[in-house]
Amino acid sequence: MFHSLKGGVCAAVAAVFLTSCAVNLDQELASCKTGEECYKIGERLYSSKQSNLKTSQFYKKACDLKNKEGCNGLGFLYYFGMGVQQDMKAAFYYHTKGCELGNMTSCSRLGSQYYNGVGVEKNYQKANEVFEKVCNIKPGLGCFQLGRAYERGEGVSQDYSKAAENYEKACNANDPYGCTDLGDLYNDGLGVKESGSKARELYKKGCDLKWQIACENLEKTQAELKQEHQKQRNALEYELKQEHKKRSNALEYAEKACSLGEAEYCNKAGSYYYDGKEVEKNQNKAVLFFKKACDLNEKRGCTNLARAYYFGGGVQQDYKKALPVAVKACNLGDAEGCSCVGNIYAAGYGVKKDLRKAFEYNKRACDLRDGKACSLLGNYYVNGYGVDVNDQKANKYYEKGCNLGSDKGCSAAGMRYKDINKNKAIAFLKKGCELNSAAACSMVALLHIGQNNVYNREIVMEYSMKACQLGDASSCSIAGTVHRDSGDYRKANSIFAESCRLNNGIGCYEMGYAHAKGLGFAMNMREAIPYFQRACQLGFNNGCIVLRNLGY
């Protein structure tokens, strides 16, 4: 099984870094006239894994034409850096836009960005507003998060009864996290009448929905769980108190310092208003603070002002106005400002497309120790964007990007060396994995699988499991196979189920095989058939062969 996976995953990972645009993008973009049409073309490109760069262009046009799926898709690409330079603020912008247009997946992702402070200042109140909106429409996407807020008192007054109410909505929508946390409340008697039997019933449902923590809770006594939960609550209470103390009166102080001519605090005040942290969101007011900071030659203020013009936050979207402000930020030494200029020239937004200038500004960003920009330069040299193709320089910039903390630089460097110097490749890929690149983790596992499927179990398990947890479905299948080979069918099947949920045909096939052969389940062909059908639908031919042999 590993041999068939190895070639496919290697090819897929390589495509992430070595994609070349062979089709005239401008002609293709001109062919779509409505948001839905542009989105469907972009979605087809994404599904076929042809080019995420082209996908992003179609999603953007769709979003500009008020298509909510296009905005959601573009936010996703910016979040993970697929076809565009990873940019959490851009992801936040497009998830906001998608949510405003009614895409609940965008709303869920937006709430998570507010909750975790990714691409925006952490703001529990804003996160809860978004999660409540989602919960009312799609309980499985937002009710668990809202329940968690009430349980922990994050942005709302702590209320275990409301936590239980929202967890129950999530659980009824088959969210395993909602079932498990509702089980915790029943176990501890918080917001509901204490009931160990009800808790176990909920843990079993969570376990059946493939949430490992729920399965583990089934093996513990009620008293053991109570003790664990109390420790967790004590730690969380301390953490929240410290956070509140640290952030109290931050906006008031920033505005006062700005009025005294402290440029850095003008930018901070602008950021509070722009993101809606500690104050009602007011992007028009934010832009005024950014402009004052920039006028005082505060480089981050200039970059944020450029971004406001670029995305249309607090001002009318205007790429031509964004460009000179971003240039000023770059000249003041802000790497993100340089990258912003590079992005404008690379895409041809408001200016004539100029890959040479895009390269030059990204090089300035790289020289200012921006690892993402350095990694992007590697792509320029691989594909000949604005420069001659030069493998040696591509390697140099991928390595520099990696050393500056870019997971894509590490992954790309590892891919470049894997057929030349395996040990060197593994070193780069391990570093990429440490930076949470699923592709890098997956490749480390694959490089430790030898001829005749001989492999280092510990290493393959460690890295394939991390890649699986980061969302790489093929790695879930590898991890499941390792567990099955060692006789742990329960764990293997849990991982195969996750792989199938992530639309990996091999994972679905293995689930069907486990049911058909009685590996961790009672032998039951009726349960196996839907998994073989799903595997076939997802293009895994073994599933189709089994169905044909069974007369389907």
Distance CA 132, CA 110 (A): 12
Supply the pLDDT for residue 198: 93
Split at pLDDT 50, 70, 90, the class of 4 is very low
Distance CA 209, CA 198 (A): 17
Backbone torsion region of residue 102, taken as left when φ is above 0, otherwise alpha when ψ lies between -120 and 50, otherwise beta: left
Residue pair 277/122 in contact (Cβ under 8 Å)? The answer is: yes
**Range in 169-183, 227-241, 257-271, 434-448 with the lowest mean pLDDT:** 227-241
Supply the pLDDT for residue 221: 81
- Taking the whole predicted model, whether its pTM rises above 0.75 is answered as no
The DSSP letter of residue 237 is H
Supply the pLDDT for residue 1: 40
Residue-averaged pLDDT of the chain: 86
Q: Which fold would CATH assign to domain 281-427?
A: 1.25.40
Distance CA 410, CA 354 (A): 27
Look up the CATH architecture of domain 448-549.
Alpha Horseshoe (1.25)
CB atoms within 10 A of CB 412: 33
Percent of residues in the chain assigned helix, strand, coil, to nearest 5: 75, 0, 25
Q: Directed axis angle between helix 391-403 and helix 407-417, to 10°?
A: 140
Which 3-state string (H, E, C) describes 136-180?
A: HHCHHHHHHHHHHHHHHCCCCCCCHHHHHHHHHHHHHCCCHHHHH
pLDDT in tens, 352-402: 999 999 999 999 999 999 999 999 999 999 999 999 999 999 999 999 999
The DSSP letter of residue 196 is H
pLDDT in tens, 498-510: 888 877 888 889 9
Distances (CA, A) of 105 to 70, 94, 100, 170, 386: 12, 12, 11, 15, 37
pLDDT in tens, 175-229: 989 999 999 999 989 999 999 999 999 999 998 887 888 888 888 887 777 787 7
Distance CA 547, CA 529 (A): 8
Q: Which residues pair with 449 in a beta bridge?
A: 455
Dihedrals φ, ψ of 455, to 5°? -150, 160
Distance CA 445, CA 296 (A): 51
Distances (CA, A) of 149 to 194, 313, 314: 21, 28, 29
Distances (CA, A) of 284 to 117, 256, 443: 21, 19, 46
Instruction: Check for a shared fold between 21-231 and 281-427.
Output: yes
Supply the pLDDT for residue 451: 54
pLDDT in tens, 312-328: 989 999 999 999 999 99
Q: CA torsion 198→202→208→214, rounded to 10°?
A: -110
Q: Percentage of the chain with pLDDT > 70?
A: 90
Spatial neighbors of 306 by CB under 8 A, at least 6 apart, are: 322, 323, 325, 326, 329, 337, 340
- pLDDT tops 70 at residue 15: no
Say how far residue 91 (Cα) sits from the centre of its chain: 10
Supply the pLDDT for residue 201: 93
Give CA angle at 162 (157, 164), nearest 5°: 130
Give CA angle at 257 (255, 258), nearest 5°: 65
pLDDT in tens, 238-264: 666 666 555 557 788 888 899 999 999
Q: Where are the alpha helices (DSSP H) in 450-550?
A: 457-469, 473-485, 489-501, 505-517, 525-537, 541-549
Domain ranges within the chain, ordered by starting residue: 21-231, 281-427, 448-549
Q: What is the CATH number of domain 21-231?
A: 1.25.40.10
Residue in the block written with tokens 């930020």: 329
Supply the pLDDT for residue 223: 78
Spatial neighbors of 521 by CB under 8 A, at least 6 apart, are: 493, 514, 515, 527
Q: Name residue 120's amino acid.
A: V
Element holding 245 (H helix, E strand):
helix 222-247
